[in-house]
Structure 1
Amino acid sequence: MNQFTIDLWKVLHSYYLGFVKLLPRLALAVVLFLLFLFIARQVRRWLLPKILRNSEDSLLTGFLGDMGYWIVLILGISVALGALGFDGAVTKILAGAGLSAFILGFALKDIGENFLAGILLAFKRPFHIGDLVETQGVKGRIIDMTLRETIIKTLDGKDVFVPNAGILNNPLYNYSVDDFLRLEFSVDLDNREDYKKAIPLIENALKETEGVLHESHQHEAVASVEETKSNALCMKVSFWIKSPEAEKESPTIKSRAIQNVLHALKQHGFSYAPQKAGSGDS
């Protein structure tokens, strides 16, 4: 029993001496880590206003600031471990982190994919906050974006959280890129009517409709024969509007345009079948 106590004391004493010998290095490592932690915070605090001067993108600014912070912090951890004499441990930690990332990459494939997609969208984004977009059957305005998902407020007030990978891998329709939106509807005239006379009447009625654009050749109101039926001549009518508030204005402008076109045709004696309105935003 006495021998066991002596051996235990020797082991504890050796650990104590080793700890005392390590104290200066430990103190230096703590000081170095705290120094790098301070520098990392200052780098992030310094980067944010610098980036904001050249970019109004809050997501990209925050991402770059966090990236600078973590790069400096990881460097500080490596230097602190080196001061403790754990140079080999740094290599093992980095190798272990790479292996862990490889394993977790399979386990959390969807999360990692959305995270990487968020980074790509942050650097080269096909939309901005407030844009009217449509993707994967969801149509609404962008209200926020994180590195994992994009939040879209639909036209009926729902908040939809769309994974970034889905946006990156699927078609995205942005109606706010140039602030123009095309609307369509159709009018069924009697098959015996002269469509050549009806076309200018329809186009003039559209030009006189409030909210319909007609100043530019690229955004002219157009009427054309879409198809003929046994007793009807189907006229396709399309026109352009400004789209900053498309979800509020387009139904009103479209209704006004239909009424004006039907009134003009009726005023000039044209006979038409009950009109078949259809939305064709593009």
Structure 2
Amino acid sequence: MESFVGDIQSQVLDNYDTLVAITPRLIIAVVLLLIFWFLGYYVKKLANKRLEKNMNDSLLANFLAGLVRGVILLLGILFVLRFWGFTGVVTSVLTGAGISAFIIGFALKDIGENFLAGILLAFKRPFKIGDVIEITGMKGRVIKLNLRDTQIKTEDGKDVYMPNGSIVKNPLINFTIDGFIRNQFDIGLDHGSDYPAAILLMEKSMLQVKGVLKGERAPMVVVKEITNNAIIVTTFYWVNTFTRVPGYNRVKSQAIVEVVQALEKAGFNLKR
């Protein structure tokens, strides 16, 4: 044991001048790393706050803020390596990172595509959480935007995870972006009915339905077509998508019941 301690002391004494020479540079390197670490921490905190406010998506905002911090820390490490004179190491790291990124990017092309599409959607998003959208025939309410996919819930309660790449590349319909959505239903009237009176009665009945808008977006009833059995009239009405009570289906159900009861009470015969 004494021999071991003696060997250590001997090595320290032999390299004493070297240790003294590198100590200031070592202290400076540590200070620089701490500066970059704290800089990355505060930049991440600020970026996360700004991004979450603009994107309304804490998951993606936190990831992007963390990515910014990682870049700052990487720059700090490379700067310290250059400060110590390891220029060749820095060049090798950058070259290796470039080759690795190319290989990994090629192997995980689809994942990378969806990831980048998720970032694009976060900054220039055609929808927000809670909007009702339809894409490639799939319709539902947006629940969450992840880095790889967007989660939507269909009217029958199914959770669908739509790859962000397909959202960027395909036409998208947003039914609720401006807060209003129009719905409709058809009713058949018997030939020979008092059509103007029926249309007026239907419009008045629609105004009694909770959730149906009035004023500039008041209900409108028009003749759609004539068939062998009936005159088909269509009722158009608007609902506010920001107030989700009652829901679209409930409003439609109440509207149909209200109109049918009013027509039957007035003596109109309904046909298909």
Deviation at 1:57, TM superposition (A): 4.9
Is residue 197 of structure 1 aligned with residue 179 of structure 2? Answer: no
Contact 1:118 1:147 in 2 (8 A): yes
- Which residue does 1:6 correspond to in 2? none
Q: Alignment identity in percent? A: 45
Contact 1:60 1:123 in 2 (8 A): no
CA distance in 2, matches of 1:253, 1:51: 37
CA distance in 2, matches of 1:267, 1:249: 27
- Which residue does 1:122 correspond to in 2? 122
RMSD (Å) for aligned C-alpha atoms: 3.1
Deviation at 1:186, TM superposition (A): 0.6
Contact 2:47 2:65 in 1 (8 A): yes
- Which residue does 1:178 correspond to in 2? 178
- Which residue does 1:80 correspond to in 2? 80
CA distance in 2, matches of 1:55, 1:191: 55
Contact 2:40 2:73 in 1 (8 A): yes
Contact 1:188 1:272 in 2 (8 A): yes
Cα deviation 1:157-198 (Å, max 9, x = unaligned): 333322211222223333332222212111111233343332
- Which residue does 2:108 correspond to in 1? 108
SS state at 1:140 partner: strand
Distance 1:52 1:254, change over 3 A: closer
CA distance in 1, matches of 2:246, 2:139: 14
Opposite residue 269 of structure 1, the aligned amino acid is G
Deviation at 1:144, TM superposition (A): 2.2
CA distance in 2, matches of 1:70, 1:123: 20
Deviation at 1:76, TM superposition (A): 0.8
- Which residue does 1:8 correspond to in 2? none
SS state at 1:160 partner: strand
Is residue 94 of structure 1 aligned with residue 130 of structure 2? Answer: no
Opposite residue 164 of structure 1, the aligned amino acid is N
Is there any run of 5+ residues in structure 1 with no aligned partner, and where? 1-12, 275-282
Of 227, 230, 239 in structure 1, the residue corresponding to residue 228 of structure 2 is: 230
Distance 1:140 1:113, change over 3 A: same
Distance 1:135 1:168, change over 3 A: same
Distance 1:52 1:147, change over 3 A: closer
Normalised TM-score (structure 1): 0.77
Of 256, 259, 267 in structure 2, the residue corresponding to residue 258 of structure 1 is: 256
Distance 1:233 1:55, change over 3 A: closer
- Which residue does 1:68 correspond to in 2? 68
Contact 2:223 2:232 in 1 (8 A): yes
Contact 2:151 2:162 in 1 (8 A): yes
Distance 1:263 1:42, change over 3 A: closer
Deviation at 1:110, TM superposition (A): 0.9
SS state at 1:101 partner: helix
Deviation at 1:114, TM superposition (A): 0.9
CA distance in 2, matches of 1:53, 1:236: 43
Contact 1:41 1:69 in 2 (8 A): yes
Normalised TM-score (structure 2): 0.79
Distance 1:256 1:56, change over 3 A: closer
Contact 1:214 1:220 in 2 (8 A): yes
Distance 1:45 1:252, change over 3 A: closer
Opposite residue 235 of structure 1, the aligned amino acid is V
Deviation at 1:51, TM superposition (A): 5.6
SS state at 2:271 partner: coil
Contact 1:152 1:160 in 2 (8 A): yes
- Which residue does 2:7 correspond to in 1? none
Deviation at 1:78, TM superposition (A): 1.0
Deviation at 1:54, TM superposition (A): 6.8
Contact 1:241 1:250 in 2 (8 A): yes
More divergent stretch after superposition (223-232 vs 238-247): 238-247
Contact 2:55 2:123 in 1 (8 A): no
SS state at 2:267 partner: coil
Distance 1:268 1:167, change over 3 A: same
